[in-house]
A and B are shown apart, each in its own frame.
Chain A
């Protein structure tokens, strides 16, 4: 208890300052576009020197309450506009009306982010690095799932199924993700493996994706060791709105004729539709989607169905919401490409990257996933908000690998109660507790359960108009199979310096942890040449993570975000892999690696030219990873990552290109013969064209336009060139 004393004392001190509240007033007004006077909805407005942020409504109106009396500077920010400060004289007990005109800018940095501090704030004010994809950026490349959109965020790379933020996860077939997926704030990683099921996300209703880099355990506990991806879905539309997205296309031939495996045109398509509106105090949207994909290689076909809903009752001050998603996937499970002699040979090649072994051509996986999320938000007066969440998620999958039938059913229950309290204008406190329980029954794990009970606390302190301090900690108690609680304390401190409205300097340091998933503890199976043995002595992995960064709007056409970061891991859980040449198996066991380090630098530049007719961005990340015991690089981490994007706007026409580069891994774990398993960089250029007419959009995309052949994990070739057309309709 003693370790909480300083923060509790501070909280008590803040609560004991009612006199200060008497000397406050309100600042209200409108945020408008400087060019045409139209309202700028969702602009973030903040009185400097306070932590209170208000967001402009659809008419641009905002109200800042509890602003200390006296001369104040009020800052308004929104993505797509330059931030602007205005001076105002706040009078105690009165409301002052102001109008703030923002100038449009394609490179401004002021997006809204929730997940960084667990309440809405400008991304400029976040003490940790964040990348935000808004609705347009999410849909820009006609993604199949949300993963296709997240893959273009700076410092993000997918290695097989594993999302890596700053090289956090490496590769372990999705198991034990070090990135936490939140859907509207609710943890949504699978209860058995900890993997992320991207097909659960109702893509057409996503309004924003927040990628929080760095350890998020101080707020979110386990799984957030390497970052957080928060999917924010739209609320029900005010007026009756129907949306339809039709998408279809085909794969090109492989880049080399010896790799052709089918003389058919391999196609794919999907249809998604949603409808929503408010009816008095009740609002809703419902949606459904269906996908079919022939796949670009043997046994990679897929069928997917997804339905989702969001029901809301009440208004801004008191909202009850029930949302849910159910998704089914049935897909060919191509584990490894085939080597000479294992499949039909063309050209006497060492390997056929688009074929699998004859014995694996019928391997399939079918999964059903569902989630329900019940939330209640309530505003208790001007300074206190509460949030209650109850959630349930099921992950049920079966894989048929010929002789081996694998399957798992994981039921996950969660709950959370949080209070956001603003006892003084310069202080914002977040206090909460959450609990989760996973019940797993699997023929490859056995029957196991895991529970996690946690309490967390965070304070944001605004000191003058130029400094905001954040301090928080979280205590988790994790138990597996009813035994051995593992206590984990995850503190984090951060600061944001604001030397001028266009610049923010941030720094943070914190501890993180991740409890081993049930799959890492208990998997015992032999399938497809892989022999996985359990290790019930695994310990939670921990990290000490720090970063410093600076965001600056350099000019009307250039903004920069530069950050340096370092993660020191203890007991990093890795899939220790050895090849048994005699038994012809790849033996895998999850083990703790005593010490490891990932450090790096990232630069994110946004550019705009010709009165914003040409917009783009370039992000570069340098990563250094090291197993401190051996000095060797950690597997599946590239040293260099680049993402670049550019769009030319010509009336309703948009021409764009997106580029991703990742240098070849310095180390992989399984197949290391450079002749038969060459390591190559990722080097993918996508082209796109869109035409908008009213609320409708037609898009044409060429993914991997150079038909570049590459892998991110051994013996698994990434998608070849494909052409996609999409029609997005809104009524």
Chain B
């Protein structure tokens, strides 16, 4: 048996693997970022306040739980709480600020909406959509949350669709 032929097999295999294997690399953030500016005082009963993001505007109360992503709990100690939301590419039509009271179940009727992303910045104007493109961060998607106007989901639907 000739030695070199055996020795070359693992050597070539090693060289091939080293040359072809891709490791971890920096991955650009893809999603939306901005701030949530709060107006008014958060109630003592507050458990959390978060952003939720939806592909489409809600049609029924149950759609409130059909979000694409939920932000981490927003800091209420800052006048403008920063947020980031990692998202797939595409258009997102609704970005509301959701409030939840302590000791309540996570059902649409127990949640309150205190504002959403709008073109002019007013918390309850017509919702403004935003786009996420590949490997890009969509910045400055800023939202105002108004603790003085905490809408139920039925009130949100009425405001959007009338009736």
Shortest Cβ distance from residue B137 to the other chain A in the assembled complex, whole angstroms: 6
Question: In the complex, are the beta carbons of A676 and B86 less than 8 A apart?
Answer: yes
Q: Are A644 and B14 in contact (CB under 8 A)?
A: yes
Contacts A340-B84, A341-B82 given; indicate if A581 touches B70 (C-beta within 8 A): yes
Known: A584-B70, A642-B17. A349 touches B29 (CB 8 A): yes
Measured between alpha carbons, how far is A255 from B24 in the docked complex, in Å?
10
Interface contact B137-A348, CB-CB below 8 Å:
yes
A353-B3 in contact (CB<8A):
no
Q: Is the CB of A680 within 8 A of B23?
A: yes
Q: Tell me whether B24 and A711 are in contact (CB under 8 A).
A: yes
Instruction: Choose from A584, A680, A683, A710 the contact partner of B18 (Cβ within 8 Å).
Output: A683
Kindly list chain A residues whose C-beta atoms are within 8 Å of the C-beta of B106. Answer: 582-583
Give CA–CA (A609, B10) in the complex, Å.
14
Q: Return the contact of B6 from the options A353, A607, A675, A706 (Cβ within 8 A).
A: A607
Task: Report the bound CA distance from A709 to B86 in whole Å.
Answer: 23
B2 CB, nearest partner CB in chain A, Å: 11
B37 sits at the interface (CB 8 A): no
Docked complex Cα distance between A607 and B28 (Å):
45
A350 & B86 in contact (Cβ 8 Å cutoff) = yes
Question: Cβ of A607: which chain B residues have Cβ within 8 Å of it?
Answer: 6-7
Verify A709–B27 contact, CB threshold 8 A: no
Kindly list chain A residues whose C-beta atoms are within 8 Å of the C-beta of B1. 554-555, 558
**Cβ contact within 8 Å between A685 and B7:** no
A158 beta carbon closer than 8 Å to chain B: no
Given A340-B86, A341-B83, A584-B70: A680 in contact with B26 (beta carbons within 8 A): no
Which of B25, B28, B69 has a CB less than 8 Å from the CB of A581?
B69
A609 touches B137 (CB 8 A): no
A620-656 with Cβ < 8 A to chain B? 642, 644
Residues of B within 8 A of A349 (CB): 26-29
In the complex, what residue of chain A is closest to B100 when comparing beta carbons?
A582
Instruction: Tell yes or no: B41 within 8 A of A by CB.
Output: no
- The answer to the question of A258 belonging to the interface, with a C-beta cut-off of 8 Å to chain B, is yes
- Roughly how many angstroms separate A688 CA and B98 CA in the complex, as a whole number? 57
Is B104 in contact with chain A by the CB < 8 A criterion?
no
Closest to A255 in B: B23
A651, B6: Cα distance in complex, Å: 26
Asked if A731 lies at the interface with its beta carbon under 8 angstroms from chain B, I say no
A681 touches B30 (CB 8 A): no
Least CB distance, A616 to chain B, in whole angstroms: 8
- For A678, give the chain B residue with the smallest CB separation: B24
* B22 CB-CB contact with A under 8 Å: yes
Structural contact, A683 and B23, CB atoms closer than 8 A: yes
Cα A684 to Cα B28 in complex, Å, equals 25
Q: How far is the CB of B86 from chain A (nearest CB, A)?
A: 6
Q: What's the Cα separation between A479 and B95 when bound, in Å?
A: 54
A348 touches B28 (CB 8 A): yes
Contact A710 to B83, CB < 8 A, known contacts A348-B29, A558-B6:
no
Interface positions of A from 284 to 314, Cβ below 8 Å from B: none
Say whether B10 contacts A347, CB under 8 Å: no
A676: chain B residues at CB < 8 Å are: 27, 86
Interface flag for B77 (CB, 8 Å): no
- Interface residue A717 (Cβ < 8 Å from any Cβ of B): yes
B21 at the interface (CB under 8 A from A): yes
Complex: A557 Cα to B31 Cα, angstroms = 58
**With the chains together, A342 CA to B33 CA distance in Å?**
13
Known interface pairs A340-B84, A341-B83, A680-B24. Does A582 touch B18 (Cβ–Cβ under 8 Å)?
Answer: no
A340 touches B10 (CB 8 A): no
Q: How far is the CA of A255 from the CA of B22 in the complex (A)?
A: 13
A340 to B29, CA, bound (A): 7
Q: How far is the CA of A79 from the CA of B84 in the complex (A)?
A: 59
User: Inside 8 A of A413's CB, which chain B residues have their CB?
Assistant: none
Residues of B within 8 A of A582 (CB): 65, 70, 106
A445 lies within 8 A of chain B by Cβ: no
A339 at the interface (CB under 8 A from B): yes
A256 CB–B CB distance under 8 Å: yes
Question: Of all chain A residues, which has the CB nearest B13?
Answer: A642
Q: Complex: how many Å from CA A83 to CA B69? A: 66
- A709 and B30 in contact, given A557-B3, A676-B86 (Cβ under 8 angstroms): no
Residues of B within 8 A of A (CB): 1, 3, 6-7, 10, 13-14, 17-18, 21-31, 33, 65, 67, 69-70, 72-73, 82-84, 86, 106, 137
25 contacts between A and B (CB under 8 A): A256-B25, A259-B26, A340-B84, A341-B72, A348-B28, A348-B137, A349-B26, A349-B29, A350-B27, A350-B86, A351-B27, A353-B24, A555-B1, A581-B67, A581-B70, A582-B70, A582-B106, A583-B106, A644-B10, A659-B14, A676-B27, A678-B27, A680-B22, A683-B18, A709-B23
State the 3 A-B residue pairs at the shortest beta-carbon distance, nearest first: A341-B84, A709-B24, A683-B21
- Contacts A350-B30, A661-B21 known; 12 new A-B pairs at CB < 8 A: A340-B33, A340-B86, A341-B33, A342-B72, A348-B137, A349-B27, A350-B28, A558-B1, A680-B21, A683-B21, A708-B23, A709-B25
